[in-house]
Structure 1
Amino acid sequence: MGRNAIIFHGTHAEPDWIWYPWLAERLRERGYDVDLPHHPGTDTDPIATFLPTVLAAHTFDEDTVLVGHSGGAALLLALLEHLDVTVAQAVLVAGYSTPPNDAPEPVLQDGYDWAAIRSHARQLVFVNSVTDEFGCDADQGRAMFDHLGGTLVVRDDGHFVTETLELVDRLIP
């Protein structure tokens, strides 16, 4: 199996939104098989019932790169905790592990097995902003980094909702 990438959209979003299709195309140009699924349950279904659907819908192996934005990044935490393989890389953009604001967050677990998450990704990268309008900010990134290690990139780019995201493209080999 060759290199593959799965890009998980955020809550209240779709696969054709913002930089997701742009990144998918960039990765395809570099030889990745890219999946850009639509998982509307990210913002409505409790993670305990939603996660098995996501796990069953995708194939994960040692060449898999996972990219998640916002709620999709929060989804990656649960996904990584429950995988039975170690993926190549997980990039969490505007991610969070605790409620970032007053909105309901069914994608979050009550707690995480940080050691299991760490053991299921060879490389972890957190990209957060000091000016995230939804609270998925640098403090959230730092909290995940403190639990998991990896690389923390802090920017001043709001919630990362631009049409392109060169930084993430450069972070994926």
Structure 2
Amino acid sequence: MSLNNPAEIIAEIRLRFQEKGANMYAGEAISQTEHALQTAFAAEQAGESAELIVAALLHDIGHLLHKHDEDCATQGIDDLHERIGAQWLNRYFPKDVTEPIRLHVAAKRYRCATDAEYVSRLSPASVLSLQLQGGPFDSAEQMEFEHNPWSQEALRLRNWDEAAKVPDFETPELEYFLTYVQRVLQQQTPDPGE
């Protein structure tokens, strides 16, 4: 796959969703694809940039890339999906896409350390994964997160991520959101006529 061919990159993303997108999303009553679409739709409805909408769509692509079973958290395995996904996407996308993805688990850990009400709203699957991911941040980790230039975007992504678990919720299809992916990729890719 060419690192600067948007059509090939989009085809690869589409393939990942075709291969594993129907898998259930981490103990929730929706699929990986439904979760991704709901998250992207929430970002779009919030009026976010194309980059953050793409981050919302692809924030869990690491689940579609790793080799673990879909229920690996119940086996005590942290699949490190945020790192796997961000590393894979780093080849194609700007940091405005990849950093919120890389930080969306850190955002959950931060929120759990700073907002007791947030913890009470976590689904059982999110509580389990939180423990595997290191639990709530300590004060030093909180401060480090707060000073990260993408922390606010990661926190917004986290909000949409937590809310995007509604069975039978109507959203636009994957192809619709792939137009945002194309837009961001074309901003990154030099025009062949230049």
Q: TM-score range by the shorter chain?
A: 0.3 to 0.5
TM-score by length of 1: 0.37
TM-score by length of structure 2 reads: 0.34
Structure 1 or 2, whichever has the larger Rg, is: 2
> RCO greater where, 1 or 2, for CA within 8 Å and sep 6 or more?
2
**In proportion to residue count, which structure has more helix?**
2
